[in-house]
Amino acid sequence: MADLFDDYATGAAWDEMIAADRGVRTPYRSLYDSIERSGAQELKAGVDALARAYLNQGITFDVGGEERPFPLDIVPRVIDDQAWQTIERGVKQRVRALEAFLADVYGPGHAIRDGVVPHSVITSSRYFYRAAHGIEPPNGVRVHVSGIDLIRDEQGQFRVLEDNVRVPSGVSYVLANRSAMRQQWGEVLGKVRLRPVSHYPQRLLAALRAAAPPGVTDPCVIVLTPGVYNSAYFEHAWLARAMGVELVEGRDLVCSGGVVRMRDTSGERRVDVIYRRVDDEFLDPVQFRSDSMLGCPGLLTAARVGNVTIANAVGNGVADDKLIYTYLPDFVRYYLSEEPELPNVDTWRLEEPQALEEVLDRLDELVLKPVDGAGGMGLVIGPQASSRELDDLRDRLVANPRGWIAQPVVQLSTVPTVVGDTIAPRHVDLRPFAVNDGNDVWVLPGGLTRVALVEGSLVVNSSQGGGSKDTWVLAGERRQATVASVPRAPERSEHHRMPALDAAVDTEIQQQQQQQQQQAGPEPC
């Protein structure tokens, strides 16, 4: 098996297992030894077994309208306790700054008044919604769930690549990956101490219950999904089942008198907290897209009067804007009076004339990203682009500099990945998930490691053909948190939806609904 690593070629990127001197980094020692003993055939057999298991269990992700097994590489990523503590502190700090910014931008606007961020940057963001101004969440939380994307640069330093505080997806794959890895690497797991991940649904449910309107002691929590045609529907259903709450679509809800109710065979039941996986523009046809079939008229009014909590809050997308991302270090200093624990990737703001001029001179060296892009869509990597693509990009940047940012090409760190009958380095990123209950920000140990399966590719997004790895966070000397079992769904009768449309609804409307389900909730995984 040792020959599998004989041709393992580390390059400019930081390899997380194999150091530049060909030595094995300490966190990976037990895993490396086990791989050596396994042999190529056994490893390949494990890869095939994982793919079959994921397909049989319906653990899928929609790519171009086709449901595929979510690719899971058999070699885990390992993060030691010291590195994880840095990540954990940085993510918590980031979420607190994002919360403060969102409360400010939809409230008094102090940061704008004090010149921390220009007013025009806020109001020109595609995801800034004036309709959300003045809505105060019951416990002050707008970012109930966040996914902060990190990369590790050539020096091994973790940096923030982007923020996801609308409807971040992928956490179900974190738990599914860990379950699958227990069967493959049981021997290794018996030698190392990992921080647990299985209690995420309990943490999420507790945070959602804590966000209920005042006076509600036993809140009704639901998961709102666009429907079965959405790319992340598997996750929506999985989370609802794991938390023991109802999974509903917009047609199951009715809002009257500022109160939201859920319809089922027993009648109507009041809803207190909506964990929505529907994007803002589809959520309430009264306030946003009038043709939306995925939301419920009146939801925003019910939230404004304090009768229902929408998690994550409407309007959070302004913080996902990649131009706003460039101001996050300033927000940490302004709102928290702290220095950032995790730095951003160096970024040019193209609306600044000098920055635009420099970037136009260096297009073939840089990465260009649309500020409202998700899932790697629209990204242009200068060194890999053709002359025609760069000329077209140049015209778009000049016409709309506010719509783009530029970054240097960062060689994302690599982790050994099974490729055919051998092992080769592949680039990865990391999405830690954080849950905010109003008292504390809790970070799920590890998160989703996404891996670019194509040699040399820096695009790890699942929607672009990327895969994932189980992420092992080694526990230090501190006592591990108690692992509680995932709550079982309460026994209840089969949920039969009352039809929102007549049984004879025509094909055109059905096709429109399917198209909206595919579009709604960018869910950048």
d(CA 169, CA 344): 21
pLDDT tens for each residue of 447-498: 999 999 989 889 888 767 789 999 999 997 544 443 333 333 344 333 333 3
Question: Which alpha helices (DSSP H) does 21-132 contain, by range?
Answer: 29-38, 40-57, 81-105, 110-113, 119-123
Residue with tokens 């790890």: 460
Residue 502, pLDDT score: 40
Q: Which of 223-237, 240-254, 494-508 has the lowest mean pLDDT?
A: 494-508
d(CA 189, CA 31): 9
Evaluate if residue 16 carries a pLDDT over 70. Answer: yes
Evaluate if residue 202 carries a pLDDT over 70. Answer: yes
Characterize 489-523 residue by residue with b for buried, 16 or more Cβ atoms within 10 angstroms of its Cβ, and e for exposed. Answer: eeeeeeeeeeebeeeeeeeeeeeebbebbebbbbb
Residues 311 and 274 sit within 8 Å (Cβ to Cβ)? yes
Question: Is the link from the previous residue into 312 a cis peptide, with omega within 30 of 0?
Answer: yes
Residue 38, pLDDT score: 81
> How does residue 408 score in pLDDT terms, banded at 50, 70 and 90?
very high
238 is written with which tokens?
């999985």
Higher pLDDT, 308 or 502: 308
Q: Identify which of 84, 80, 79, 72 has the alpha carbon closest to the alpha carbon of residue 179.
A: 72
Bridge partners (DSSP) of residue 422 are 419
Characterize 310-332 residue by residue with b for buried, 16 or more Cβ atoms within 10 angstroms of its Cβ, and e for exposed. Answer: bbbbbbbbbbbbbbbbbbbbebb
pLDDT tens for each residue of 176-192: 999 888 888 988 988 99
Evaluate if residue 112 carries a pLDDT over 60. Answer: yes
Q: Identify which of 304, 332, 326 has the alpha carbon closest to the alpha carbon of residue 100.
A: 332
pLDDT tens for each residue of 484-517: 333 333 443 333 333 333 443 344 445 555 656 6
Evaluate if residue 292 carries a pLDDT over 80. Answer: yes
Residue 163, pLDDT score: 97
Higher pLDDT, 490 or 300: 300
Section 77-97 average pLDDT: 98
Section 397-408 average pLDDT: 97
Higher pLDDT, 479 or 398: 398
Over its C-alpha atoms, the chain yields an Rg (Å, rounded) of 23
Q: What is the pTM of this model?
A: 0.89
Higher pLDDT, 200 or 69: 200
